[in-house]
Chains A and B, each alone.
Chain A
Amino acid sequence: MKLLITFAKDIRLAFKSFYIYIEIIMAVLFVAILLFVVPEHFTTEHTVYVALDLPATARDFVMNKLSEGGEAGTTIVLLDSAEAVRARLEQDRSAAGIFISILADKINFEFILQGYEQEKVVNILRQAFIGEMAASVPGFVDHTTVTLLDSQVEKLSDRINMVPVFLVLNSVFVGLFIIASYIFMDKEEGTIKAFAVTPARVWHYLAAKVGVMMVTGLITGLITAVAVGGTQLHLFPFILLLLVCNGFGSVLGLLIASFFDSITKAMGWLYLAIFMLSFTSVSYYMPSFSPLLIRLLPSYPMLYAFRQIFLAAPDYRQIYTTVGIFAVLGLVIFLLADWRYRKTITI
């Protein structure tokens, strides 16, 4: 009951202050950008600069191979010479080049890379090319069989695929930044001292704040997910996942803030935390880059769980496992934060 009263008071105050409206405007802006600026599907573009020094017959063969091998989004720019390719590569450090000539009676493909590519990337490029070439030679035997665990894997549109990143970094971790400023504000304005003489306990105070963050996250999350996902959204698991993950983010913010006595001091570390958490979005977009360090960050499983929410046939086990893990972790961190604040909050 005391918790409910504290929570109701905090919610009323939150709606009287500006910040909740700023959060809502941000969510609306993001939705507008997604719906009106971002195309539903997009390809990343790569440029490959190519120069040929070949007799006419070999030229046709090579041109065929190049057009077959080009992935979607790859632009091939034909140039006169290897020097011209190198000159272009000096200008465009994200591009690669190929110089094709006759070497020891064979057509030689010289891949001209920038130099920062890892040895393994070079190996993959070389071996995948050899494998592809071998496939067109008489005597080639396919030594592979493929077992597909799920041949019906559903792919989300590129637009919807961006929503989990916003949901996690904004709606889920809204509390990480805001809850700390909440506590410090109450501390400086003396609200906490006033609170200390009421019958409510410290954990009531903390839980009410977490509750306010949950409401804020839920509002911005629902705006984004419903507006972009529409009928594709599975509402009940979405709300549950959002509330639990948001609660986790807020108690994490509480714990970090408990080590500092002013928002300015805490800000750098909260900044660091949100930055580290956002690193996982790189792996989310580039799944082959997923070092253990990134997979251990809390935002990593959250991103994938939120993606499931938009699928026609979501993997409920993945969603509810994520919910379970963060519910437990959130509770543990909350107890820790409560223990720390009981010692420090009234100072």
Chain B
Amino acid sequence: MIKRILAVALRDLKSGIRDYMILYILAAPFLLALVLLAFVPSAGASLINVAVLDSADPALIDTLRQYGRVELLDSRAALIKRVADTDDIFGIIADGDTYELIAGGNETEGALDGVRSIINGIANRDLELPVSVSVSDMGWRLSPLLQLGGSFIIIFITVFGGMIVLLNLVEEKQYRTLAAVNVSAISRVEFVIGKGLLGFVIPILHAYGILLILGFYTINYLMVTLVILAIALISMIIGFGIGVYNDNQLTAVSSMKAVFLPILASLFGAIFLPERWLPVLWWSPFYWAFDAINRILLHEATWPRILLNCSIILFLTALVFALMRKRIQRGMI
């Protein structure tokens, strides 16, 4: 049985290697991780970005650089044009000890008050204040963008594995090889497992690669593997469900795109919703996977918690499978 399953998987692998298919599939997600990594240094919380005249006092420019990006422009008109742009940037023109702040009016609420406070704080630095300020930190260096972005990419890429299986299947249907399988010595279950094997292996390779590129060297990779396997299973069942019923790639890709909607809703919900609202996402296996990966990246994951999340994912997978079983069976004929 294992021999037959491996034969199916190896055949896919062989044809994949022959026309560099595997390379194409493997490479893109790693590039995505590199792009995310490139954004991390520039993505802080709200910085104060300003535009000043290039004739401004260099000391003022240096001071402003401590709070954000400073763009130098040659005239007041250019400054006004820049401020009117869509992003949050303020114009500052110094005249003696008075500073004219130019705002477009479309900036984030409170941002202008922040700039005023900073400028006034600098201009009034000789005042004796009744308070002092100090800053300390918890020593936690992992940026939220890297942490949330990393979890996000990993879940999405796992779905990509399901998509590959789906496209493979559609191809089989197109070339009518699926009908040939029905009269061969291989059972349907063996064929399905063999076909799905790559859908498990590819996401694991992707997840490891992405996490290493993003610099997560010390997390528990065994836990990562377990979560990826669980989520790859449901992606694959959805992929199969769509794939066996579509002998045209157009509908298949568009159905898969439709699956993105609940996935995106669960992931964005998990990131942005306040905690008391999270139960509205409990139906989604992608939410549980995101929660698990997030805990692993934060070094907060415990085995009982990961096993709980994976069990919930498997339970939801079983439900989806029960709903789609007939459909998959019918489509395989």
Contact = CB atoms under 8 A, between A and B. Distances in A.
A119 B66 CA distance: 8
Interface in A1-57: 17-19, 22-23, 25-26, 29-30, 33, 44-45
A146 B103 contact: yes
Contacts of A260: 24
A304 B86 contact: yes
Interface in B110-136: 110-112, 114, 116-124, 127-136
B139 interface: yes
Interface in A268-291: 268-269, 271-272, 275-276, 279, 282-283, 286-291
Given A108-B131, A121-B44, A188-B174, A33 B265 contact: yes
Given A149-B105, A268-B24, A275-B32, A288 B87 contact: yes
B231 interface: no
Given A287-B88, A293-B38, A113 B110 contact: no
A17 B132 CA distance: 69
Interface in A81-115: 86, 89-90, 93-94, 103-104, 106-115
B186 interface: no
A78 interface: no
B68 interface: yes
B136 A135 contact: no
Contacts of A182: 250
Contact of B68 (A90, A124, A272, A286): A124
Nearest to B298: A93
A156 to B, nearest CB: 11
Interface in B132-163: 132-144, 147, 153, 156, 160, 163
Contacts of A22: 251, 254-255, 257-258
Contact of B104 (A112, A118, A122, A153): A153
A139 interface: yes
A217 to B, nearest CB: 13
Given A17-B251, A130-B121, A112 B137 contact: yes
Contacts of B43: 282, 289, 291
A1 to B, nearest CB: 26
Interface string A127-144: 111111111010111111
- Chain B interface residue number, banded: 35 or more
A118 to B, nearest CB: 4
A131 B120 contact: yes
A124 B144 contact: no
Nearest to A107: B131
Given A115-B137, A137-B129, A272-B31, A144 B119 contact: yes
Contacts of B114: 124, 128
A215 interface: no
B250 A126 contact: no
A234 B74 CA distance: 37
B127 A137 contact: yes
B108 interface: yes
Interface stretch (B45-53, B220-228, B305-313): B45-53
A226 interface: no
A185 interface: yes
B55 interface: no
B318 interface: no
Interface in B252-275: 252-255, 257-258, 261, 265, 272, 274
The 7 closest A-B pairs by CB, nearest first: A131-B121, A268-B28, A131-B117, A19-B254, A153-B105, A143-B123, A115-B137
28 contacts: A17-B248, A19-B251, A19-B255, A22-B254, A26-B257, A30-B261, A110-B133, A110-B136, A112-B136, A113-B138, A115-B139, A115-B140, A120-B44, A120-B68, A121-B44, A123-B66, A133-B130, A145-B100, A177-B257, A262-B21, A264-B24, A264-B168, A264-B171, A267-B25, A271-B28, A272-B31, A288-B111, A291-B39
Given A22-B251, A150-B105, A267-B164, 19 more contacts: A18-B251, A23-B258, A114-B138, A115-B138, A130-B117, A131-B124, A134-B129, A137-B130, A143-B99, A143-B124, A144-B116, A262-B21, A263-B249, A265-B20, A272-B29, A289-B43, A290-B87, A290-B88, A293-B39
